[in-house]
Amino acid sequence: MLKYALLALLAEEPRHGYELKAVFERMLGQTWQVNIGQVYSTLARLARDGLVSCQEVLQDLLPNRKVCRLTGQGRAALAKWLSWPSAPSAREI
């Protein structure tokens, strides 16, 4: 699930790991806290699989940031996931 949440956030705009963590948690009203290590390990897998590309951005006074953006393959994977039918709720059964 985190994989697709990160893809959706990157579909909006390129972001770095700490920004993804903050936006993710803000969207969910702090109900799902995500470890920054999970964010970076998920980004590494997404990059390995060609779904995102990451670029190091130099900063003067702070450590360099790795900014990631969705690739065409990542957009296709996100669109496919969003098109999957959801499981029926207990009411629908």
Annotated domain spans of the chain: 2-82
Q: 66 exposed, middle or buried (CB, 10 Å; 0-12, 13-18, 19+)?
A: middle
State what percent of residues in the chain have pLDDT above 70: 92
Residue 57 confidence (pLDDT):
87
**E strands within the chain?**
15-16, 52-57, 65-70
Which tokens sit at 66? 């790795």
CATH of 2-82, one of 3.40.1390.30, 1.10.10.10, 3.30.360.10, 1.10.1200.10: 1.10.10.10
Residue 91 confidence (pLDDT):
58
Check: pTM over 0.75? Answer yes or no: yes
